[in-house]
Structure 1
Amino acid sequence: MTIGRDARLDRLRTDDRYLIVPMDHGITLGAVRGLADIESTVDAVTRGGADAVLTQKGLAPRVHPNRNGAGYVVHCNASTVLGPDSNDKRRTCSVEEAVRAGADAVSFHLNVGSNHEPDQLTQLAELTGDADRLGIPVLAMAYARGPDLEGDEPDALGHAVRLAEEVGADVVKTGYSGDPESFESVIDDTALPVVIAGGSRGDDRETLEMVRGAMDAGAAGVSMGRSIFQHDDPGAITRAVSAVVHKNVEIDTSLEKVEVNH
């Protein structure tokens, strides 16, 4: 642990809670809605209360002028939906490249239980070692995905978040198990701050119910992409999610922050 690492972590959170909006999906899906004009989306979500945004390194010049002082995370592996296996994430960036791109942290995706787990585990361990030498925090996106796994099972998610801690990550992102009671066991399997993924986009109430449930279970926040950047009003849904994460408000109250804009 270094002063530099702690200082950079503070740029990604507010009062130890995280609202990160990942927008690295362009490499996976192409320039989909919300990402073609990524400048406007970054501006909207950071004005709406996002603590940090996340992209691949090449988009840094489009992010920095529009992030309104929010933190910036550079993602370091990827795959595409057009390739033979979307779970086969390959390295796209080094820690040094991320630092040159102005990153406050780096992130890495690991599919625990997949055929690619051994290579991704090795790569994540190497990344955390490089990041530690430079005082750069690491967000591990540790998912339970593989041929023998069905859905977001609490035991598998718990294994994934513990793995992230064991190899030196600072924050871990994983799927939501579906209810606060089962997700508490996932939180208990690691000492790291746990943030949940947004998954495929649902309606506003479903999104906020998931966030509320995760926070009630003890999560440290969310790292939510498509449910925010593909929303009709990314700034409004960010304000609603932020109200739950940072102000601990209930669902109906947070929904008002979306509805007032429509």
Structure 2
Amino acid sequence: MNAGLAARLERISTGGRYLVVPMDHGITLGPVKGLVDLESTVDAITRGGADAVLTQKGVAPRVHGAKNDKGFIVHLNGSTSIGPDSNDKRKTGSVEAALRAGADAVSFHINVGSDYEPDQLTRLSDVIETAHRLGVPVLAMSYARGPGVDEHDADSLAHAVRIAEELGADVVKTAYSGDPDTFDRVCEATRLPVVIAGGSRGTDRETAEMVRGAMDAGADGVSMGRSIFQHDNPEAITRAVSAIIHDDAAVADAVDAAGLSVEA
């Protein structure tokens, strides 16, 4: 690993643990809650302990003044919820454009098992090659998604994260299988740091329990969007998640310390 890549990985993590908040949903879902006043949300979650925020390149000017010196990741593909197939993620940027936008790292989404898998694998490989030539880390968002694919099946998720390592990514994000016993198999499938997606927003207890379960299974953090940026108190829920990831806190302690109700 070259010095630039190592230095940039440190900017999006703390002690090898990751609390990334993806906020690239404006392409997928439009201007939903938490993304309209993007600056206020970015300020809240970075004050709450997020290591990095993730957006598309176009909103970078709105991120930098609000991110409290935390890391910034630019996402390089996307799709919309109103398009013909949301699994068909198309290129939205380049590594060079991400660097011009002030990124510390880039991310790219693939759907293993979808009709678009072959093209997405090729594009991810190209992104990794370019990024590493420039000393930029790559977060591969590698999901098991497609006809007949169970998105939370541990074997399918293990395959998805292993693909990211085989292609040379630096960090891999995938779905949570639902419990520590099965997610342990996912973490064992790769030497890469594994971070889990949050999915649609649940209760504070559900969010904290999911993070605790993933960490107990060997995960290295989260890349959690809607559960954080759509929360009524994004700073507080970020503090709770951060306490579990960075301080190894128990669920009740993390939620209580953040000023949230464990039954919320």
TM-score (normalised: structure 1): 0.98
Instruction: Give the counterpart letter for 2:166 in structure 1.
Output: E
Per-residue CA deviations over 1:173-204 (Å, capped at 9, x if unaligned) read: 00000110111110010000000000111000
What is residue 8 of structure 1 aligned with on the other side?
A: 8
Code of the residue aligned with 2:222 in structure 1: it is V
CA 1:260–1:109: 2 relative to 1, 3 Å: closer
Within 2, Cα distance between the matches of 1:257 and 1:235?
12
Matches within 5 A, 1:29-108: 29-108=29-108
Distance 1:114 1:214 in 2: 25
Q: CA distance change for structure 1 residues 61 and 180 in 2, over 3 Å: closer, same or farther?
A: same
Choose 145-154 or 168-177, whichever is displaced more. 145-154
The aligned counterpart of 1:159 is: 159
- Distance in 2 of aligned mates of 1:182 and 1:19: 22
Structure 2 Cα separation of the partners of residues 37 and 160 of structure 1: 34
Q: Distance in 1 between matches of 2:163 and 2:191?
A: 11
Unaligned runs of 5+ in 1: none
Instruction: Return the alpha-carbon distance in structure 2 between the equivalents of residues 81 and 43 of structure 1.
Output: 27
User: How big is the shift at 1:258?
Assistant: 3.9
Q: Provide the aligned length of Structure 1 versus Structure 2.
A: 262
User: Which whole-Å deviations, capped at 9, do the CAs of 1:160-181 have from their partners, x for residues lacking one?
Assistant: 0000011110000000001101
Retained in 2: the 8 A contact 1:237–1:257? no
Verify the 8 A CA contact 1:26 1:32 in the aligned structure 2. Answer: yes
Cα deviation per residue 1:197-225 (whole Å; 9 max; x = unaligned)? 00111000000000000000010000000
Deviation of residue 255 (structure 1)? 1.1
Change in Cα spacing, 1:213 to 1:96, as seen in structure 2 (3 Å) is same
- Give the whole-Å Cα distance in 1 for the aligned partners of 2:13 and 2:101: 20
Partner of 2:176: 176
SS in 1 for 2:183: helix
The 8 Å contact of residues 87 and 116 in structure 1, kept in 2 or not, is answered as: yes
How many angstroms apart in 1 are the aligned matches of 2:39 and 2:92? 22
2:133 and 2:165 mapped to 1: Cα distance? 17
Task: Give SS of 2:121's match.
Answer: helix
Contact between 1:109 and 1:141, CA under 8 Å: does it hold in 2?
A: yes
What CA RMSD, in Å, does the superposition of the two structures yield over aligned residues? Answer: 1.1
Aligned residue identity for 1:58: G
Q: Distance in 2 between matches of 1:14 and 1:126?
A: 28
> What does residue 248 of structure 2 align with?
248
Does the alignment pair 1:23 with 2:23? yes
Residue 142 of structure 2 aligns with which residue?
A: 142
Deviation at 1:92, TM superposition (A): 0.4
Q: Work out whether 1:227 is the aligned partner of 2:227.
A: yes
Amino acid at match of 2:135: G
Alpha-carbon distance between aligned partners in 2 of 1:85 and 1:118, rounded to the nearest angstrom: 16
Gap runs ≥5 in structure 2: none
Write out per-residue CA displacement over residues 6-33 of structure 1, whole angstroms, 9 at most, x where no aligned residue: 0000001111100000000001100000
Amino acid at match of 1:180: P
AA aligned opposite 1:240: A
Query: If the length of structure 2 is used for normalisation, what is the TM-score?
Result: 0.98
Among all aligned residue pairs of Structure 1 and Structure 2, give the percentage whose two residues are the same amino acid. 67
- Structure 2 counterpart of 1:237: 237
In structure 2, give the amino acid aligned to 1:178: G
Equivalence map 1:169-208=2 (5 Å) = 169-208=169-208
- The AA in structure 2 aligned to 1:74 is V
Match of 2:127 in 1: 127
Deviations 1:213-251 (A, max 9, x none): 000001000000000000000000000000000000000
